[in-house]
Amino acid sequence: MSDMKQLAQLMAELEKMLTLCTRCGMCQAVCPIFSVTGKESDVARGKLAILDGLLNTMFENPDGVYEHLNKCLLCGSCAANCPSGVKVLDIFIRARAILTAFMGLSPSKKLILRKLLANPQTFDRLFEVGTKFQRFFTKPASDIIGTSCSRIASPILNQRHFMPLAPVPFHRISPSADILPGKSGIKIAYFTGCLIDKIFPDVALAAMRVFSFHEVGVFMPQGQGCCGIPALSSGDIESFERLLLYNIEKFRPFDFDYLVTSCATCTATIKKFWPLMAGENLGKKVRDEVDIISEKVIDINRFIVSKIGINTTKPENDSGKIITYHDPCHLNKSLGVSTEPRLMLKANKNYRFMEMPEAGWCCGMGGSFNLQHYDISADIGKRKRNNIISSGCSVVATACPACMIQISDMLSKSNDRIEVKHTIEIYDESLECNF
């Protein structure tokens, strides 16, 4: 009972934030999950009402609340469109952490998060082993997209067309870097991120070529870890804090101008959630360092456009391949980065940019949401696929590797011959570097 009261007390700290919700229902119109299920409990207003009820009933049904809270993409559509300014993502992240602290992690999540993810060297070794054996369990699905599908019946891979692990991860191709700046006078730290490192190393290689072209100095420490968002999404503060401390140690003494990432989710996590969830127990020194890093972190598209500058006066190429752009939720809704990626694409004279309908509508990935609720995730993804097709494009670009995985799945299963690229890859092509 004492634990129950303690948990209720912790939840009461969210009460002020919860009272801001007027139950107006604006979140219904923008929630990707609600658009599929039509259930009030799946929309932000419904989840906040459940949380509010939880405070009053002293956690009579924490399992049910936890289930509803986890049925969320954390896309931020509700928060971005809330007229009352309710910080929905902050509430959900904190509530998940409190509930997990009370209920504990499942054995499988403990293994994945605390034994693997929170130990970057072990995590890397596991994926390198997976790379060697994946050909025995997978087969090619789409030659143009590069997806694979499962050779055997699998509850997770069975329905999916997924991106295979790269033959060589980026951390093996380029373990570290400490390059002095040239004419730009700017030195950045480059945070790779798990998906780019292990699935899309070509994105990181393109980024490094772009930095070199613009004579930007690059500090890239060896053995980087995950940004921590999988742990946070599961409410596992212990693993999150271990990864936070690990990465801070890697990037000390912070003698760089910007911390650049090519992953929308990593950028939003470091910018928003590191300061939000860095607890008092970490000490003032660490929390001050978190503030320093969160101030320096910047998306690669915004960095190139606003800090370096690009040529946006190229002539229109009416005969070029059509390219369209999908707005990652964490980049557009959480950080307000929308114009810059489009300028990056328009800088390539070999393409003709065409806006797709509902470019800012969520693709349905949502990290672990895709694993737990693939049917809903796929329904949301099909809407995105249809909008991509309607643009008439031969290439769809985005700035988030998780979105690239989801979009590749949807296009591949429909036998669409459309390439999926990162914006920095398209911009890199425009520079015509000779490396």
Helix 374-390 to helix 401-413 angle, to the nearest 10 degrees? 80
| Mean pLDDT in residue range 295-321 | 86
The verdict on 88 and 193 lying in the same domain is: no
Tokens 């998940």 locate to: 96
Residues 6+ apart with CB under 8 A from 311: 347
User: Measuring CA to CA, which residue among 356, 359, 337 is closest to residue 264?
Assistant: 337
Q: Is 137 helix (H, G, I), strand (E, B) or coil?
A: helix
Integer Cα distance of 262 and 180 in angstroms: 20
The verdict on 357 and 422 lying in the same domain is: yes
The verdict on 375 and 281 lying in the same domain is: no
How many C-beta atoms surround the C-beta of residue 222 within 10 A?
10
Model confidence, pTM:
0.93
Question: How many CA atoms lie within 13 Å of 305's alpha carbon, on the beta-carbon side?
Answer: 20
The verdict on 394 and 324 lying in the same domain is: yes
Residue 113 lies inside a defined structural domain of this protein: no
User: Measuring CA to CA, which residue among 400, 390, 406, 407 is closest to residue 423?
Assistant: 400
Kindly indicate the confidence band of residue 14, based on its pLDDT and cuts at 50, 70 and 90: low
Tokens 């309908």 locate to: 357
What's residue 434's pLDDT? Answer: 36
| Cβ contact 370:377 at 8 Å | yes
The verdict on 175 and 288 lying in the same domain is: yes
Domain boundary (268, 288, 306) is at 306
The verdict on 360 and 392 lying in the same domain is: yes
Q: Does pLDDT of 2 surpass 50?
A: no
What Cα–Cα distance (Å) separates residue 240 from each residue in 117, 231, 274, 307? 9, 5, 9, 31
For the record, the structure tokens of 362 come out as 């969520």
> Tell me, what CATH number does 97's domain have?
1.10.1060.10
Residue 159 lies inside a defined structural domain of this protein: no
What's residue 69's pLDDT? Answer: 82
The verdict on 280 and 318 lying in the same domain is: no
Q: Which of the pair, 319 or 98, is modelled with greater confidence?
A: 98
Single-letter amino acid, residue 411: L
* Domain interval for residue 48: 2-103
What's residue 118's pLDDT? Answer: 96
What's residue 247's pLDDT? Answer: 97
Mean pLDDT (the chain) is: 91
| Cβ contact 397:365 at 8 Å | no
| Mean pLDDT in residue range 292-305 | 98
The verdict on 377 and 294 lying in the same domain is: no
Q: Which of the pair, 13 or 65, is modelled with greater confidence?
A: 65
Domain boundary (273, 306, 339) is at 306
User: Measuring CA to CA, which residue among 382, 370, 372 is closest to residue 410?
Assistant: 382
Kindly indicate the confidence band of residue 9, based on its pLDDT and cuts at 50, 70 and 90: low
- Encode pLDDT of 153-179 as tens digits: 777 777 899 999 999 999 999 999 999
The verdict on 90 and 35 lying in the same domain is: yes
Q: Count of domains in the chain?
A: 3
Integer Cα distance of 292 and 20 in angstroms: 30
- Encode pLDDT of 274-295 as tens digits: 999 998 889 999 999 999 999 9
| Mean pLDDT in residue range 371-391 | 96
Residue 118 lies inside a defined structural domain of this protein: no
What percentage of the chain has pLDDT greater than the value 70?
92
For the record, the structure tokens of 18 come out as 């919860």
> Tell me, what CATH number does 412's domain have?
3.40.50.10700
What's residue 433's pLDDT? Answer: 43
Q: Which residue spans within 104-262 are E strands per DSSP? A: 138-142, 147-150, 177-179, 187-191, 217-220, 258-261
Residue 158 lies inside a defined structural domain of this protein: no
| Mean pLDDT in residue range 364-387 | 95
The verdict on 208 and 287 lying in the same domain is: yes
Residue 162 lies inside a defined structural domain of this protein: no
Residue 10 lies inside a defined structural domain of this protein: yes
Residue 188 lies inside a defined structural domain of this protein: yes
Residue 130 lies inside a defined structural domain of this protein: no
Span of 27-36, 72-81, 368-377, 424-433 with lowest mean pLDDT: 424-433
Q: Does pLDDT of 312 surpass 90?
A: no
What's residue 233's pLDDT? Answer: 94
What's residue 152's pLDDT? Answer: 84
The verdict on 353 and 289 lying in the same domain is: no
Domain boundary (267, 291, 306) is at 306
What percentage of the chain has pLDDT greater than the value 90?
74
The verdict on 48 and 67 lying in the same domain is: yes
> Tell me, what CATH number does 249's domain have?
3.40.50.1860
